[in-house]
Structure formats: structure tokens, C-alpha cells
A = this chain, B = another copy of it.
Amino acid sequence: MSFPRTKIISMSNGQNKSNPPHVQNRGRKATQAILDASLELAEQSGLDSVTVEGIADYAGVAKTTIYRRWPNVSSILMDAVLSQVNAAAPIEEQSTLRETFAVSMKLLTKLYAGRNGKILRALIGRAQVEESLREAIETRWVEPRRKLARELLRRGMRRGEIRPDLDTDVVLDLLYGAIYHRLLVPYKNGKLNERFVEVLLDAVFGGITVRPGTS
């Protein structure tokens, strides 16, 4: 039984388990060097100027070795970033729904302010013209988080914290959409910080219309 000449580790799904068992220490070291190099170079000079040849030089690896694993730069960085980022902004249930999202959204703003966030933002940008990257972001980044967040919203509905007739995806678009809007669509004074998250939650959970209880 032989394995296909060209094997793409991931990008298609998150499972590397079916790798050829022959890939051992030597291969792993090269793989890790490539991932590290891609992050380093992307941070230094921006995703657009990261090239396969640049990564190869920096990682001390042959260009062909890279092409044996990934089809392009985007997929390398996707793997490199996701391995670190998925744990950086978890969604964990707190005492109230509002507190749950307050914590999550503040972690998210911190993530995007950091090293990997800059790269992740660039990847979302490139995903607008690269269909396979768009799919990868959906499958490996957005959907897993959405799935969890939807469930938390439903529990909040059952506890009577929010209206039970709402479309959970619409609520998530409200909360996280505002953050991504500031991140991706530029305008003056569109700061992305913890204060913004608080003001935002006030508006969403307090409602934007005038109501009796509001002094």
C-alpha cells in the first residue's frame, strides 16, 4: 500500500491522523520549522510578502519539501495560526449570558490585537478571493465557535435571559459582527478595545429603543 505522491496535510479538514506512518522525526522537524518560519515572516513583513521561497530559506528547508505538504502560503499560515489561536479565545459559559459573551468578546479583541490576530485578519481578507481558504476558515475556525455559541444562547433562552423566538445566528451576528466590522471595515475612531465591548453589550442587552425603565 503506497500513499499518494502529493499529500496535503490539512487545510481540507482538521485531522492529521491519517498521515503516512513513515513520516517521523525528520519530517516532523521540517514541518515545525516551516510553520514557525511562516508565522515569523508573516509577522515581520505582512502576509502579502510571504513567499514559499522565503519560508524555505528561513526554515532551512528545500522549497520542494514545502510543496509536498501544502499547496500555497495561505494554507501554511492557516495551519500555523489555528494551532495556536483556537485556544486563545475560547467560549466558556459564565454566570450570565451577558457575562459569557463579555468574556469571549474581550478575549477576541485581545486576540486580534496580537501577533496571530494580525495574521488571522489578513487570512480573512485573502479568503475573499480564495475559495479554498474561505472554506477552511468556515470549517476550522468560525463554525466550531458558532456551534458552541448557539448552544449557549439556547440555554440562555431557556433560562429566560433573552427572547426565545430569536434566530441565534442573528444574535451572534449582532455581537461578533460589530467586532469584525471594526476590525475589517475601516473608519475613523473605530477602536477595538474592552470599552467598546462593554458599550456594545449595553446597547444589545439594554436595547436601543427608549423604554420606560431607562432614566
Contacts and interface: CB of A to CB of B under 8 A. Distances in A.
A187 B125 contact: no
A103 interface: no
A67 interface: no
B187 A184 contact: no
A46 interface: yes
Given A138-B186, A187-B143, A188-B138, A209 B161 contact: yes
Contacts of A196: 170
A180 B174 contact: no
Contacts of A142: 185-187
Contact of A128 (B124, B138, B173, B208): B124
Total copies of the chain = 2
A200 B170 contact: yes
A110 interface: no
Given A177-B180, A189-B169, A48 B138 contact: no
Interface string A113-148: 000000001101111111000110110001100100
Contacts of A137: 185-186
A182 interface: yes
A207 B161 CA distance: 12
Contacts of A200: 170, 173-174
A208 B174 contact: yes
Contact of A125 (B127, B138, B209): B127
A14 interface: no
B199 A170 contact: yes
A178 interface: yes
A190 B203 contact: no
Nearest to A188: B143
A1 interface: no
Nearest to A135: B186
Contacts of A143: 187-188
Interface string A149-186: 00000000000111100110111011011111110111
